Amino acid sequence: MKTSDAQYEETIIDEPLKVRGEDQEDLAVISSHLQDAIFLHQDMNYDQEKRELAILLNRVRWELAGGKKNQNNPAERVRSLLLIRDVLEINFLLPQDKGTEIPLSLLALEFKPGEDGTGRLSCRLSGHWDIHATVECINVYLTDVTKPYLAPSRKLPTHPE
């Protein structure tokens, strides 16, 4: 019989992540799961008629790092779909000179409120690039769509202080 308290690591279920965001607090949680996710230009699709921006990306499974960015754990990634709904307008500030083969690295999702629940949802990327979506409201989904795989580098990303 176990007498000690449950540890955080014991509570993680190896199930696909499926999260919906409807406010800024939800968006902060989704953003933390997406830090250091990578994707290419061709992995994005904006459907103006449906008012949806979809990005298929390879995200780091930070939830398995025990709440810390610990280099001792082998890094896993998983293909995930980020879906931003109720998009009124979109602006891409992305590299154009080297074509579509440049990997883009997502650093964070940010939201600046506007009037009556509208606002600007920004995907902040490394290299001072951004994707800005004017949205009717926060309506974001993040869903894992493949099985996890060991990252080729076998290391978690780091950011110099």
Q: What's the mean pLDDT in 82-87?
A: 98
Q: Which candidate, 25, 34, 33, places its Cα nearest to that of 123? A: 34
pLDDT reading at 84 higher than 50: yes
Handedness of CA 143, 148, 153, 154 (dihedral sign): positive
List the Cα angle 100/102/108 in 5-degree steps: 110
Residue-wise pLDDT tens digits, 15-57:
899 999 999 999 999 999 999 999 998 999 999 999 999 999 9
Q: Name the residue among 94, 96, 91, 95 with its Cα closest to residue 132.
A: 91
Domain boundaries, the chain: 18-150
Rounded to whole angstroms, how far apart are CA atoms 126 and 130? 8
> How far is residue 71's CA from residue 73's CA, in Å, rounded to a whole number?
6
pLDDT of residue 71: 53
